[in-house]
Homo-oligomer: A and B are copies of this chain.
Amino acid sequence: MAMTISGSTQRPAPQALASAVEALAARFGNRLITSQAVREQHAHTTTWLPTQPPDAVVMAQETADIQDVVRICAKYRVPVIAFGTGTSLEGQVNAPAGGVCIDLRDMNRILEVHAEDLDCVIQPGVTRKALNEHLRDQGLFFPIDPGADASLGGMTSTRASGTNAVRYGTMRDNVLALKVVRGDGEIITTGTRAKKSAAGYDLTHLFVGAEGTLGIISELTIKLRGIPETIAAAACSFETVRGACQATILAIQTGIPLARIELLNSEQVRACNAYSKLTLPETPLLLLEFHGSEIEVAEQSRNFGEIAKECGGGDFTWTTKPEDRTKLWQARHDAYWSVKALRPGAGVVATDVCVPISRLADCVTETEDDLKQLNLLSPIVGHVGDGNFHCSLVCDVDNAEEMARGEEFMHRLVERAQSMGGTCTGEHGIGQGKQKYLKAELGPEAIDAMRALKQALDPQNIFNPGKIVPAA
C-alpha cells in the first residue's frame, strides 16, 4: 500500500535511453552505475511513497561532470535527477519517468570561506555537519538545521529550514548566489557575494526550493554567522497547547530574539518519557534556546520565564552549561527515535504544515482531536515560532485499511492548515506527495505561472520531471 501520487510523466523511448546510457558509460566509466541495488538506494524516499529508481546513477566529481550528464541526457531527452543525501521527505529523488540520477556526494569541497563577509562558497554535496565542522575553528557556523545531515545542495533545492528558522530564517534567507547547470549544459550565475542586490529578477530565489526541476545546482554561496558567545537552553511545561502558543506569540511580539522554540505535544512527551526514561509532566512542553552575550541570554531567559508564567506555564528552567543544556533538550533530540519505538516494526510517516501563528493552537488541537477520531497515533513536534509543525504518523504499512485512514488524516491536515491561511508544507516541499494540494492553496493562476516558468527554463522537461508542478 502506497500513497497516491498525482503528477504523471512519460518514460523516454527505450532506444533513446540506451543511447544515453551508452554515451554516459563512455564518458564516466565505472562512475556510471546501473546495478539495481544502487539505483534503488537512490530512490530511497524515507516516505511511504513507492520507490521509483532511476535507470542509472552517475557519481559526479566536478562541475564538468554535471554539465556532461545534462548535455547527454538533453540530447536524448532523458530525465536528470540530482541526489544529495536522499533525506528529502516528499519523494523529491524518485524517478517516476526513469532517467539518470546525478549523485553529488563527492562534490563536497568547501571552496572559499570569507570570514569578514560571513559567507562561503561550496559545492552542492557538502553536508551541514561537515560544513559546521570545518567552520568551527573560525568561530563561524551555518545556522539551518533540518535534523538530517543533509547536503547543502539538497537543502537549497527543497528550501529546507528547521529548529533555528525562527531566528536565522530558512534556506531562502541564507543563500546569496548559485551556479546552476541549465538544459544545454551551460551555467547560470544567479547573483554575487554582495549582501543585497536589486539587479534584475531574483534568479537565486527561483532555484531555491525548485527541487531540481529547473536545473542542477553546481555551486552555492551561502551566509554564515558568528558562533554566539553564550547559548542558553530552557524548558517549560504548559497545561495546554494554547498556553504554549500564547507564550510564543507574546515573546515574539515583545522582540525576544528566540533562537529555537520547539513544542512537543502531550503524546510526544509521553513517547519521550517512555523511550528516554524521563519524568516530564505529560502535557505540552516548550523547549527553547537563546543566543547572545551572557547578559543578553540571561535577560531573554528571565523575560521569557515571566511570559510563560502569565500564560499558565509551570516551572521554567534555564541553563547555559553545555551538559545541562543537552539534558534539558533530551526529549527533543530523541523525539524521532521515541516515535519509532512506539510500535516496533511499524512505519513512521513524517508530514508538515505551517499556519499563521495566531492559528497554531487551533490547528494543533483540531489535529489532535482528528487523530483520536480516526484512531491514529501521531505525536506532534512544532517549530512553534514559525507556526510550523510535524506529525509523525505511526502506521502499519501492510494494513491497507489503516493506511487509508492515514491518508485521510493527511488530507484533512492539509485542508485544515490551508483553511486557516496556511500552507500544505512549511519545509518538506512538494515533491510528489503534495502536488495535489498546490492548486487549492494558491489557485489555478499560480499553477499556470509555475508551469510557464518550468516551460521557460526547462523546455525539454528533463529536470526532475513529475515534481512540484502537477501534470496539466
List chain A positions with a Cβ less than 8 A from chain B.
114-119, 139, 158-161, 165, 169-170, 172-173, 182, 186-203, 205-206, 208-210, 214, 225-226, 228-229, 249, 252-255, 257, 291-293, 295-296, 299, 303, 354-358, 386-388, 417-418, 421-430, 434, 437-438, 441-443, 445-446, 448-450, 452-457, 468-469
Contacts and interface: CB of A to CB of B under 8 A. Distances in A.
A341 B106 CA distance: 60
B195 A386 contact: yes
B193 A356 contact: yes
Contact of A445 (B189, B200, B454): B189
Contacts of A426: 194, 196-198
Contact of A188 (B388, B434, B446): B446
A387 B195 contact: yes
A197 B354 contact: yes
B116 A203 contact: no
A364 to B, nearest CB: 14
A429 B228 CA distance: 34
Contacts of A252: 118, 226
Contacts of A445: 182, 186-189
Given A187-B445, A255-B229, A446-B190, A202 B200 contact: no
A164 to B, nearest CB: 12
Count copies of this chain in the complex. Answer: 2
B192 A441 contact: yes
A275 to B, nearest CB: 29
A149 to B, nearest CB: 19
Given A189-B443, A197-B423, 13 more contacts: A118-B252, A161-B196, A189-B446, A192-B421, A192-B441, A192-B442, A194-B421, A199-B438, A200-B450, A201-B453, A255-B292, A296-B299, A452-B457
Given A186-B445, A456-B456, A195 B228 contact: no
A114 B358 contact: yes
A199 B424 contact: yes
Nearest to A171: B198
B442 A191 contact: yes
9 contacts: A116-B358, A192-B418, A194-B426, A196-B388, A198-B425, A199-B423, A201-B210, A296-B299, A453-B456
Contacts of A354: 194-197
B202 A208 contact: yes
A430 B202 contact: no
Contacts of A448: 188
A219 to B, nearest CB: 13
Nearest to A435: B200
A255 B422 CA distance: 32
Contacts of A190: 442, 446
A193 B421 contact: yes
Contact of A295 (B194, B202, B210, B299): B299
A254 B140 CA distance: 10
Contacts of A430: 198-200
A153 B292 CA distance: 36
A249 B468 CA distance: 40
A158 B198 contact: yes
A352 to B, nearest CB: 8
A226 B201 contact: no
Given A203-B449, A225-B255, A457-B449, A427 B198 contact: yes
A257 B375 CA distance: 48
Given A199-B425, A200-B469, A295 B295 contact: yes
A187 B441 CA distance: 14
